[in-house]
Structure 1
Amino acid sequence: MDADPAPAPFRLHPAAAWALVAAQFVFLLLLGFLPWGSLWPREAATIVIGLVLVALGVGIALAAGGALGRTLTPSPIPKADGQLVTSGVYSLVRHPIYSGLLVLGLGLIAIGASLLHLLAWIALLSILMAKARFEDLMLLDQYPGYRDYAARVGRLVPGIGRVRS
């Protein structure tokens, strides 16, 4: 009798991957264009803090995208000919582009001061967590060293969301 075959590698259907990307952009746009609220005073200090968070988030995402180079793709499906990057911002978190988008979103919440902004950010967080989990599964299949890397480095926040080795 033959041995059980190895489990097939996890692959996210491309349509599902692009649906996650589209949803991510919808919630980012909502964060930018929802009407302002009055959950807290929208004073100069609040606006400055929000703008600093937006700039920090953009900076993190751009640094992470630049570090990926030709491996960069908006889809959570990794490129077949890509390289595993574990240095720079990737030594702090496995999905720093997503982290940057979430920090940017926090800045937009500070500026927007509405419950709708908060709900849109929570939806964005949910989508980015799903993308990160799917991406992790595919990267585990694609790169032999990914499990050790994921055991050392948090998913979206340094030290949080490490994979058990």
Structure 2
Amino acid sequence: MNYLLLALSWIIFYTLHSVLAASKIKRILEGKLRNAYKWYRLGYTLVSILLFLGIMVQALLIPKSILFPKGDLTDYLGYMFAGFGTIILTKSSKNYSLKRFLGFEPSTKEDETLVTTGLYSKIRHPLYAGLVLIFLGYFLFSGTVTAIVHLACLLLYLPFGIYFEEKKLVNQFGEAYQKYKLAVPSLIPSFW
């Protein structure tokens, strides 16, 4: 039952993430909130952080149930994947203003440009790829059922998250994003 509630919490988190980031919802709220809309991104960020922290507390309260015995190899692989994921997240977020991302600085249409350089020239969604590696690393390091629930929920969400994100990007950048989408893989880089 604990794992089902944990999965349900992730479903709520990911659903809210996609719904609240949708362009249509943003337009509706912008019309209703008017001047207060400038605080929308900050509110969105705070809700996301609180839900994420709630999920982490919930996961800590679940008794540990080990799926496989830990060893030096699983520890090494866990650290390696999580480390690579952290590097990918860090490098891919350098193209964004942290203040703007968190909602402390308003975003304007002039600020929004299609980034296709750096890691974005290899994969379209390096933030998601980094998260997958971090969650995979955590699972290999801990070997718990809780960790596999975290990873499974992320992997199940990604096709939906990517679909809605790309729909928004096609509306925003048009043919430029369509060409980028055809040239660059979504999550797994193509080195040949």
Query: What is the TM-score of this pair, normalised by structure 2?
Result: 0.62
Q: Could you report, residue by residue, the CA deviation over 1:70-95 in whole angstroms, capped at 9, with x for unpaired residues? A: 387379xx974311111111011111
Displaced runs of 4+ in structure 1, greater than 6 A? none
Identify the match of residue 41 of structure 1 among 69, 83, 86.
Answer: 69
- 1:113 paired with 2:143, answer yes
Identify the match of residue 69 of structure 1 among 74, 96, 103.
Answer: 96
- 1:50 paired with 2:78, answer yes
Equivalent residue runs for 1:152-163 within 5 Å: 152-158=183-189
In 2, are the aligned partners of 1:12 and 1:134 still within 8 Å (CA)?
A: no
In 2, are the aligned partners of 1:54 and 1:103 still within 8 Å (CA)?
A: yes
How far apart, CA to CA, are the structure 1 residues paired with 2:48 and 2:162? 12
In 2, are the aligned partners of 1:53 and 1:106 still within 8 Å (CA)?
A: yes
Distance 1:35 1:63, change over 3 A: farther
Which residue matches 1:3? Answer: none
Which residue matches 1:150? Answer: 181
How far apart, CA to CA, are the structure 1 residues paired with 2:50 and 2:152? 12
Q: What is the SS of the residue equivalent to 2:97?
A: helix
Q: CA deviation at 1:12?
A: 4.7
Which residue matches 1:88? Answer: 118
Q: What is the SS of the residue equivalent to 1:101?
A: helix
Distance 1:21 1:154, change over 3 A: farther
In 1, are the aligned partners of 2:64 and 2:145 still within 8 Å (CA)?
A: no
Relative to structure 2, which stretch is displaced further, 115-124 or 97-106?
Answer: 115-124
Q: Could you report, residue by residue, the CA deviation over 1:21-49 in whole angstroms, capped at 9, with x for unpaired residues? A: 5698369847x856654322211221121
Q: Specify which structure has the higher proportion of helix.
A: 2
Q: CA deviation at 1:52?
A: 1.2
CA RMSD of aligned residues (A): 3.4
The alignment covers a number of residue pairs equal to 146
How far apart, CA to CA, are the structure 1 residues paired with 2:114 and 2:163? 16
Determine what percentage of the aligned residue pairs are the same residue. Answer: 24
Distance 1:148 1:87, change over 3 A: same
Identify the match of residue 137 of structure 1 among 167, 173, 189.
Answer: 167
Query: What is the TM-score of this pair, normalised by structure 1?
Result: 0.71
Distance 1:93 1:79, change over 3 A: farther
